[in-house]
């Protein structure tokens, strides 16, 4: 799977390695499981992972799933700050769907307005059982 060179080239070595780990993963990963995956690439301390994750999150390449203390690569071409994203998580198979349409951003804008707050960052996570798991 080829990566966009323009994206990867803007990243440092550690950032690229962490992002690759997340891209290769089927689901969200904890910082420490990323660390374990990257020990054979020279990673030795959690801070190496956390620092890369900070930047990747800042760039919009990675999202943090607060309710799982874990991280997931953004599935969208570029997730700019203005767009709110919602995550739907199956508690059975742990598949995560990343939803990011205008209605979500609108909803959060309305919420911010109701609360008289200037929005910085939103976090929307819905836990449930996906269709496939429900059938079993």
- Find tokens 């890369």 and name the residue: 52
Select the binding partner of residue 72 from DNA, a second copy, none (C-beta < 5 to 8 A, by kind).
none
Which of a second copy, DNA, none interacts with 24 (beta carbon under 5 to 8 A by kind)?
Answer: none
Residue where the block lists tokens 């997931």: 72
* The token pair that represents 100 in the structure block: 């990011």
Q: How far is the CB of 27 from a second copy (least distance, A)?
A: 15
CA atoms within 13 A on the CB side of 72: 23
Q: How far is the CB of 16 from a second copy (least distance, A)?
A: 27
How far is 77 from 69, CA to CA, in rounded Å?
24
In the bound state with DNA, the residue whose beta carbon lies nearer, of 125 and 134, is 125
Residues contributing to the site for DNA (CB under 7 A): 12-15, 30-33, 42-48, 50-52, 55, 69-70
């Amino acid at each position: 799977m080829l990566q966009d060179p323009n994206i990867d080239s803007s990243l440092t070595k550690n950032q690229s390695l962490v992002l690759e780990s997340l891209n290769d993963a089927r689901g969200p990963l904890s910082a420490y499981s990323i660390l374990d995956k990257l020990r054979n690439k020279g990673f030795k301390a959690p801070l190496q992972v956390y620092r890369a994750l900070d930047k990747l999150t800042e760039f919009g390449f990675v999202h943090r799933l607060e309710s799982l203390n874990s991280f997931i690569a953004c599935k969208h071409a570029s997730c700019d700050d203005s767009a709110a994203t919602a995550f739907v998580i199956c508690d059975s198979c742990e598949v995560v769907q990343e939803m990011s349409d205008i209605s979500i951003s609108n909803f959060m804008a309305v919420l911010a307005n109701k609360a008289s707050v200037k929005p910085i960052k939103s976090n929307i996570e819905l836990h449930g059982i996906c269709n496939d798991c429900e059938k079993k």
